[in-house]
């Protein structure tokens, strides 16, 4: 019988035997090799073999006994072939024990089993009582190699296949959860990440980069790497890493800009889940930059009215002809800030003046100029109204009706900001005019309340004066009467 020990393993074995844990001899392997079975053939490339773990490391038994019965004696700890959850527990026997791992000279993390128990994959399999996924589902049982080895099933170029063996298996996934999509692979293949991965690029995102490996959770779990408030951090682990992204020559400022945007502040600071995370605009598995055609569609999923108005505006064709992205041209993509009236008009900070000047696209220039002055007058009207309503209220006058109408003025101002996107002066004027009319009514009502206040006060002053005069003359009259009495 030929003894098979690679020179490297021999060195390690000698080094480790001194610790007394590993036996230099592996009679299990020796005998099984002669029978030419698969486990022993695979084991020769196994990281465990290289680190001095014998067949008995997982199966138990006596690896120094040449006799078959002695070696595979239950009394010697032989456990046979592990089944169900005993499989992962076998692996955890070492991989969850930092002491055991250290005895093999390893400083790998020892949390895989613990994490797996908290993951979505710890749910029970339909076949039996065991969990859906065991360690060997992703790592194999024999022929296990380091995860950085290109032949590992979890190596970036192989992990997609490892995961989609289940996740693209419609029948299997339906039996677990009929509503769970099974199109991840199909979509992933169309993405920049997926096409590059298929061509052998190990740096783009694969399933485990976005979902984790041992700690995979459902997307609805607040601890999931793809939960909306966690997702931007997951993407930026690569996209904000300048050194990592260097070969690609694309910007690495998306997160930085996004975090400062209205959207980033709303989601990350105010936890407003209505605000978009990276995937709201880029998709989950089809992560691509939205093309020129699709950008307004992306924004329009939330800002429906703006998108609708834009589509029927003169800019639609003008922008399409020039291959300009729709919303992004004026609002940018990652650094979208709160929109203000400053964007509108012909001043240097207005977006309109980038394309409309007195010499270029003059019609738009004129429209921008008068739209700005319209919204300015509505703004001024509203400010004036607020002051008057406040004043009347402080004077204790009843003006609930004017106050109620003030809300309509505010509404018209908000509507006009959206109506900008029709890029049609006439339509814009209509909305603003409605607001202005109401604004004038509010001003009139609150002013007349203020007048009434003064009128009442003025009346009070006069009557007090009359009463005082009356009182004084009455006093003088009485005094005179009294004096006359004394003189008599
Ligand atoms: C002298 C030869 C010999 C030695 C030594 C030996 N085995 Fe085996 N082993 C066999 C043969 C032959 C079979 C298949 C026959 C059977 O199923 O009983 C087998 C079967 C097995 C099985 C499958 C059992 C099952 O229930 O399907 C495992 C696991 C196993 N051996 C592990 C070990 C381990 C671990 C050691 C060392 C501690 C070891 N063997 C030592 C010859 C050997
Ligand atoms: C890292 C742990 C581990 C080591 C080391 C290991 N095995 Fe296994 N072995 C397993 C697990 C887990 C299974 C069950 C696989 C399954 O259910 O698909 C298994 C199954 C088997 C089986 C039965 C099923 C089959 O695949 O034929 C045999 C035989 C076997 N091992 C022999 C060996 C021999 C021989 C060695 C040493 C050369 C060895 N094993 C080393 C974990 C290990
Ligand atoms: C759903 C697939 C999956 C399952 C199940 C799984 N792993 Fe992993 N494992 C991975 C991936 C992917 C990596 C590499 C990426 C990484 O390091 O997170 C990895 C890495 C590892 C590593 C390298 C060190 C480390 O933690 O990164 C070890 C050791 C390991 N796994 C052991 C286990 C053990 C033990 C189990 C069972 C308790 C297990 N794995 C279950 C996918 C899986
Ligand atoms: C007897 C202890 C022991 C058992 C049992 C065991 N392992 Fe390991 N495993 C090790 C040691 C030691 C290493 C090498 C660690 C190192 O290189 O730092 C290792 C390495 C690995 C690696 C490679 C990690 C890397 O560096 O990328 C994976 C994956 C792995 N084991 C998975 C498993 C799986 C799956 C099982 C169960 C089927 C299992 N192990 C059972 C001790 C064990
Ligand atoms: C053995 C089959 C199998 C393998 C392999 C597998 N999964 Fe799963 N996965 C499942 C099952 C079953 C579920 C639970 C479905 C359910 O009941 O909702 C699940 C759930 C998930 C979920 C949660 C879905 C949700 O939002 O509810 C994610 C994410 C996931 N898996 C990702 C992965 C990744 C990434 C890999 C590879 C590293 C992987 N899976 C490997 C079977 C598998
Ligand atoms: C670029 C990051 C990224 C990559 C790569 C990725 N996912 Fe996802 N995945 C997500 C996001 C984001 C979600 C959805 C989160 C949500 O619904 O809010 C998701 C959702 C899922 C779900 C839940 C069902 C669904 O489709 O909504 C499963 C299952 C899943 N992914 C599996 C996979 C598998 C398998 C792969 C590898 C082929 C993969 N993912 C690759 C980011 C990614
Ligand atoms: C593991 C690292 C990694 C993670 C995580 C990652 N990406 Fe990527 N991504 C890349 C690399 C590398 C490229 C390729 C760049 C190229 O080809 O221009 C890329 C390309 C892209 C592109 C196409 C860029 C272009 O114009 O070519 C988009 C969009 C993108 N990623 C978005 C995302 C989003 C959104 C997430 C999170 C859901 C994410 N990425 C997570 C590494 C990653
Ligand atoms: C509000 C929608 C939106 C959000 C949110 C968003 N993006 Fe983008 N992203 C875009 C648009 C639009 C483009 C430009 C596409 C074009 O010009 O064709 C883009 C381009 C990109 C590109 C290509 C390179 C570049 O900078 O032009 C990458 C990479 C990218 N985004 C990643 C991310 C990441 C990572 C996040 C989260 C931190 C994110 N995006 C959030 C809309 C968005
Ligand atoms: C997932 C839904 C969603 C998507 C997609 C989205 N947004 Fe938003 N957007 C919001 C929410 C919610 C707010 C309000 C945030 C806040 O102020 O708290 C907002 C705010 C804004 C604002 C500021 C509004 C103001 O009152 O000043 C602008 C401008 C804007 N988004 C433009 C865009 C553009 C351009 C796109 C596409 C590139 C886009 N949005 C995509 C949800 C979305
Ligand atoms: C030609 C430039 C331009 C384009 C293109 C444009 N906007 Fe605007 N947008 C503006 C201006 C100017 C304002 C500010 C109006 C104000 O506050 O007076 C604004 C305001 C907004 C607001 C805040 C007001 C509101 O409606 O709540 C949102 C949201 C918005 N835009 C979304 C979009 C979306 C979505 C698209 C694409 C369909 C888009 N914008 C295209 C110029 C533009
Ligand atoms: C990226 C360049 C660009 C920006 C920014 C831009 N426009 Fe335009 N606009 C155009 C082009 C090009 C046309 C079509 C001109 C033509 O065909 O004569 C147009 C046409 C118009 C028209 C229709 C004029 C007509 O012929 O009836 C109006 C109104 C208009 N723009 C208003 C605005 C306003 C208001 C803003 C700022 C909120 C703005 N535009 C910002 C490029 C732009």
Cα of 150 from ligand 4 centre, angstroms: 17
Mutate to test the pocket of ligand 3, among 212, 213, 234 (most ligand atoms within 8 A of CB): 213
Q: What is the mean pLDDT of residues 439-447?
A: 95
Of 39-43, 201-205, 321-325, minimum mean pLDDT range = 321-325
Of 43-47, 287-291, 383-387, 417-421, minimum mean pLDDT range = 287-291
Which letter, b or e, does each residue of 429-451 get, where b requires 16 or more Cβ atoms within 10 Å of its Cβ? bebbebbbebbebbbebbeebbe
* Residue nearest ligand 10's atom 36 by CA: 327
Count CB-CB contacts under 10 A for residue 136: 16
d(CA 449, CA 444): 9
- Band of the pLDDT at 20, cuts 50, 70, 90? very low
Q: What is the mean pLDDT of residues 304-328?
A: 94
Q: What would the pLDDT profile of 116-142 be if each residue is shown by its tens digit?
A: 999 999 999 988 789 999 999 999 999
Q: Ligand 11: does its nearest atom lie under 6 Å from the Cβ of 314? A: yes
Across the chain, what does the average pLDDT equal? Answer: 92
**In this predicted structure, what is the pLDDT of residue 6?**
52
Q: What is the mean pLDDT of residues 56-73?
A: 95
**In this predicted structure, what is the pLDDT of residue 24?**
53
Residue 15: is its pLDDT beyond 70? no
Q: What is the mean pLDDT of residues 259-288?
A: 94
Closest CA to 384 of 450, 440, 454: 440
Closest CA to 153 of 332, 166, 333: 166
Q: What is the mean pLDDT of residues 32-44?
A: 94
Q: What is the mean pLDDT of residues 315-326?
A: 93
Q: What is the mean pLDDT of residues 346-364?
A: 94
Cα of 99 from ligand 1 centre, angstroms: 28
Residue 16: is its pLDDT beyond 80? no
Cα of 368 from ligand 11 centre, angstroms: 8
Query: What share of the chain has pLDDT > 90, as a percent?
Result: 85
Asked if 435 contacts 441 with a C-beta cutoff of 8 angstroms, the reply is no
**In this predicted structure, what is the pLDDT of residue 10?**
45
Q: What would the pLDDT profile of 149-185 be if each residue is shown by its tens digit?
A: 999 999 999 999 999 999 999 999 999 999 999 999 9
Please provide the size of the chain in residues. 488
Q: What would the pLDDT profile of 400-410 be if each residue is shown by its tens digit?
A: 999 999 999 99
Which letter, b or e, does each residue of 375-409 get, where b requires 16 or more Cβ atoms within 10 Å of its Cβ? beebbebbebbbebbebbbeeebebeebbebbebb
Cα of 134 from ligand 3 centre, angstroms: 10
Query: What share of the chain has pLDDT > 70, as a percent?
Result: 94
**In this predicted structure, what is the pLDDT of residue 297?**
82
The bound ligand whose nearest atom lies closest to the alpha carbon of 327 is 10
Mutate to test the pocket of ligand 2, among 28, 33, 65, 81 (most ligand atoms within 8 A of CB): 81
Residue 22: is its pLDDT beyond 60? no
Residue 429: is its pLDDT beyond 60? yes
**In this predicted structure, what is the pLDDT of residue 182?**
96
Instruction: Quote the tokens at residue 333.
Output: 């993509």
Closest CA to 375 of 359, 352, 401: 352
Distances (CA, A) of 216 to 120, 188, 222, 375: 6, 18, 12, 51
Cα of 347 from ligand 11 centre, angstroms: 15
d(CA 6, CA 29): 13
**Residue tagged 């005082």 (tokens):** 468
Distances (CA, A) of 480 to 266, 467, 468: 82, 20, 18
* Residue nearest ligand 9's atom 11 by CA: 275
**In this predicted structure, what is the pLDDT of residue 292?**
65
Q: What is the mean pLDDT of residues 76-88?
A: 96
């Amino acid at each position: 019988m030929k003894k098979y020990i690679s020179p490297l393993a021999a060195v390690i074995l000698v080094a480790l035997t001194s610790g007394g844990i590993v036996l230099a001899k592996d009679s299990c392997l020796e005998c099984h090799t002669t029978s030419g079975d698969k486990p022993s053939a695979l084991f020769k490339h196994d990281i465990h073999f290289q680190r001095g773990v014998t067949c008995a490391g997982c199966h138990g038994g006596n690896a120094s006994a040449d006799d078959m019965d002695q070696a595979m004696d239950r009394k010697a700890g032989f456990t046979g072939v592990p089944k169900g959850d005993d499989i992962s527990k076998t692996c955890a026997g070492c991989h969850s024990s930092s002491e055991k791992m250290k005895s093999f000279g390893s400083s790998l993390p020892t949390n895989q089993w613990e994490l797996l128990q908290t993951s979505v994959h710890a749910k029970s399999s339909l076949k039996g009582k065991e969990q859906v996924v065991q360690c060997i589902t992703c790592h194999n049982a024999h022929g296990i190699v380091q995860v950085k080895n290109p032949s590992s099933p979890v190596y970036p170029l192989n992990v997609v296949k490892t995961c989609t063996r289940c996740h693209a298996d419609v029948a299997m996934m339906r039996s677990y959860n009929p509503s769970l999509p099974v199109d991840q692979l199909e979509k992933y293949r169309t993405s920049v990440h997926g096409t590059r991965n298929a061509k052998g690029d190990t740096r783009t995102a694969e399933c485990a980069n976005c979902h984790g490996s041992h700690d995979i959770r459902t997307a609805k779990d607040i601890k999931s790497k793809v939960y909306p408030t966690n997702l931007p951090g997951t993407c930026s682990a690569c996209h904000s890493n300048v050194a990592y992204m260097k070969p690609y020559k694309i910007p690495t400022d998306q997160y930085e800009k996004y975090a400062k945007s209205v959207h980033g502040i709303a989601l990350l600071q105010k936890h407003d889940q209505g605000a978009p995370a990276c995937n709201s605009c880029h998709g989950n598995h089809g992560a691509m930059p939205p093309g020129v055609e699709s950008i307004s569609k992306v924004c329009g999923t939330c800002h429906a009215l703006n998108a609708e108005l834009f589509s029927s505006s003169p800019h639609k064709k003008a922008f399409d002809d020039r291959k300009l992205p729709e919303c992004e041209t004026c609002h940018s993509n990652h650094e979208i800030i709160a929109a203000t009236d400053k964007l509108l008009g012909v001043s240097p900070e207005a977006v309109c003046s980038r394309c409309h000047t007195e010499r270029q696209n003059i019609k738009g220039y004129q429209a921008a100029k008068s739209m700005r002055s319209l919204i300015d007058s509505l703004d001024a009207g509203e400010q004036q109204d607020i002051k008057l309503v406040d004043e009347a209220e402080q004077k204790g006058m009843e003006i609930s009706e004017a106050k109620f109408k003030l809300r309509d003025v505010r509404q018209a101002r908000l509507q006009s900001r959206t109506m900008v996107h029709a890029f049609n002066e006439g339509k814009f004027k209509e909305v603003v005019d409605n607001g202005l009319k109401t604004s004038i009514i509010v001003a009139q009502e609150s002013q007349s309340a203020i007048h009434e206040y003064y009128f009442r006060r003025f009346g009070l002053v006069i009557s007090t004066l009359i009463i005082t005069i009356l009182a004084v003359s009455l006093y003088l009259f009485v005094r005179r009467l009294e004096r006359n009495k004394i003189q008599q």
